[in-house]
Chains A and B, each alone.
Chain A
């Protein structure tokens, strides 16, 4: 559990209420011929946990680096708390960053690393020490102050990087794939801790990840990036349940796309449609739909047992291939294995048919 982090809590309330922490307007960044970021408009509310989600190379890091001030945008503006900071150097921005490789100073011990920002800002020694220790306690590393970064595990380094940023009580904290280097168990644990910490301190978090599950579990809102542009922005539920483009449908969760021809014959609807795999029921043999249900006949091509659930890959007679996920509440693995090649009917509620373009 988290230790109280009164210092940070205090300053956030002292600052009073500003509704928009970050505003990006028509932001664009070119590296030579490469357009890394293209017409990005984004408002981040004070105290919000916003995630930039997208595949590698989609421009997430570049957006983050422009907010921090490490990169100058080719065009567009960046406002922090209503002030245009586009031309302001990084050391004068009220923003701190947790770097992907943590970027801890190897020649300083943990406490000096955490104190660095305060020392630069000429905070008195006593206050510096107290705040640094408080920040280390908040990430449960109070006994590690004298160690060198090289003597810490990956997870501990990550938490030092977090403490080093938070001790400055920034208005905005930027995190670039901070959990990327951790193993799965530790990552899941840190996801929970980070989220709790963010709630406790009330600082605006802009969090970069390429892991859709991480984005869905942690964020207030998600901005999905595709080739330098924001493909969609919304709450995790909006992004998952109502993806607006095939890209978003495919990147967040399993897409289960029904192409125009299939959609026309199966759903009697125009355009591109998608159905999430967990919304589909798999019934052996033939079954007829009731009420608002849709039925589609097909053959099980593959059965994948994944512990808690089973994934069925079904070739529909209508032409598409859909994935359906069923909880393993009753089935045994031997029964599941025998289902390969069998004829089935897939059923779902028509309200789960999502138009994706």
Chain B
């Protein structure tokens, strides 16, 4: 933040007026952010209150809550919303369940010289195309002939097939690095002396993990969950490829934005609001300082 502390005169406008200097520095990126980012959000929000003429298909620019009423009163839409929320929560929990131990191993168990390599390994999938990865999972999860089915066949089991579970598995894979990396960074910042102190005071490994490490890295877990949660909430391609008949929030938006843009906008506003509510809830944990 800019400070208003008077600094001794050094000559130069910027030095005498730190706020002006800051404004000059930030003007361009701020303008970009406001116009492109907030502008599009505002447009989305505005559109959500318009309607489409049933006959002509033209936009009717008068304020109405009709779209939102539609969204919340149509059982199919409500169901999709809740299902999407459920998927996002499941993906986030799975990412925590897998990501936290992996991050712990990377930061605390693996030898220090292996750490950069492990980080690179976690990053590698991020460099591959999203579509390639999802289609790879389609091949993995495909019933009867998929890789998973092949592995499970001797046990008399089959792949879960395309559906909700496959969406969760695929999204968990896709977003896992976004959980592992901040949590890993959090683990590396826990000083060793903190762990020694806990042991010194009589705590065994598990107790130290529960009472000292987890609370200290909690903000980074929240930071990771913001990624996994909001990315899952907005995703629709994975559902198309491995979801079978199951659709998510994004699919509804995709199906409607040509024929009924205002309705699609209203529907798209919902994940934005959910994420904002989530952000407001986690603000207290200090997690946003770690993003």
With contacts A103-B193, A105-B194, A107-B215 known, is A96 near B207, CB below 8 A?
no
Instruction: Specify the chain A residue showing the minimal Cβ separation from B200.
Output: A97
Interface of B is mostly: helix
A28 at interface (Cβ–Cβ under 8 A)? Answer: no
Instruction: Specify the chain A residue showing the minimal Cβ separation from B215.
Output: A107
How far apart are B101's CB and chain A's nearest CB, in angstroms?
A: 21
B61 at interface (Cβ–Cβ under 8 A)? Answer: no
Which chain B positions have C-beta within 8 A of A168? 201-202
With contacts A101-B191, A103-B191 known, is A96 near B203, CB below 8 A?
no
Bound Cα distance from A117 to B212, whole angstroms: 12
Among candidates A70, A89, A96, A100, residue contacting B201 with C-beta atoms closer than 8 Å = A96
Among candidates B191, B193, B203, B216, residue contacting A120 with C-beta atoms closer than 8 Å = B203
Which chain B positions have C-beta within 8 A of A32? none
When each residue 79-111 of chain A gets 1 if its CB lies under 8 Å from chain B and 0 otherwise, what string results? Answer: 000000000011110011101110111111000
Which chain A positions have C-beta within 8 A of B200? 68, 70, 90-91, 95-97, 165
B16 at interface (Cβ–Cβ under 8 A)? Answer: no
A185 at interface (Cβ–Cβ under 8 A)? Answer: no
| A120 in contact with B197 (CB, 8 Å) | no
How far apart are B183's CB and chain A's nearest CB, in angstroms?
A: 16
Count of A residues near B, CB < 8 Å? 27
When each residue 107-136 of chain A gets 1 if its CB lies under 8 Å from chain B and 0 otherwise, what string results? Answer: 110000000110011000000000000000
When each residue 204-217 of chain B gets 1 if its CB lies under 8 Å from chain A and 0 otherwise, what string results? Answer: 10010001100110
Bound Cα distance from A164 to B201, whole angstroms: 8
Among candidates A70, A91, A106, A116, residue contacting B204 with C-beta atoms closer than 8 Å = A91
How far apart are B133's CB and chain A's nearest CB, in angstroms?
A: 36
With contacts A101-B191, A105-B212, A106-B216 known, is A91 near B203, CB below 8 A?
yes
Which chain B positions have C-beta within 8 A of A116? 198, 201, 203, 211
Question: How many cross-chain pairs have Cβ atoms below 8 Å apart between A and B?
Answer: 64
Bound Cα distance from A99 to B207, whole angstroms: 20
| B197 in contact with A103 (CB, 8 Å) | yes
When each residue 305-322 of chain A gets 1 if its CB lies under 8 Å from chain B and 0 otherwise, what string results? Answer: 000000000000000000
When each residue 185-202 of chain B gets 1 if its CB lies under 8 Å from chain A and 0 otherwise, what string results? Answer: 000000101101111111
Instruction: Specify the chain B residue showing the minimal Cβ separation from A101.
Output: B193
| B199 in contact with A89 (CB, 8 Å) | yes
Bound Cα distance from A103 to B216, whole angstroms: 13
Which chain B positions have C-beta within 8 A of A117? 201-202
Instruction: Specify the chain A residue showing the minimal Cβ separation from B217.
Output: A107
The 9 closest A-B pairs by CB, nearest first: A117-B201, A103-B197, A103-B193, A90-B199, A107-B215, A120-B202, A120-B203, A97-B200, A91-B199
8 A–B contacts, CB within 8 A, in A order: A69-B199, A92-B202, A99-B197, A103-B193, A105-B194, A105-B198, A105-B212, A116-B203
Besides A68-B200, A105-B215, A106-B216, 14 other CB < 8 A contacts? A70-B196, A70-B199, A90-B200, A91-B199, A96-B200, A97-B200, A99-B193, A99-B196, A103-B191, A103-B197, A107-B215, A116-B201, A117-B201, A120-B203
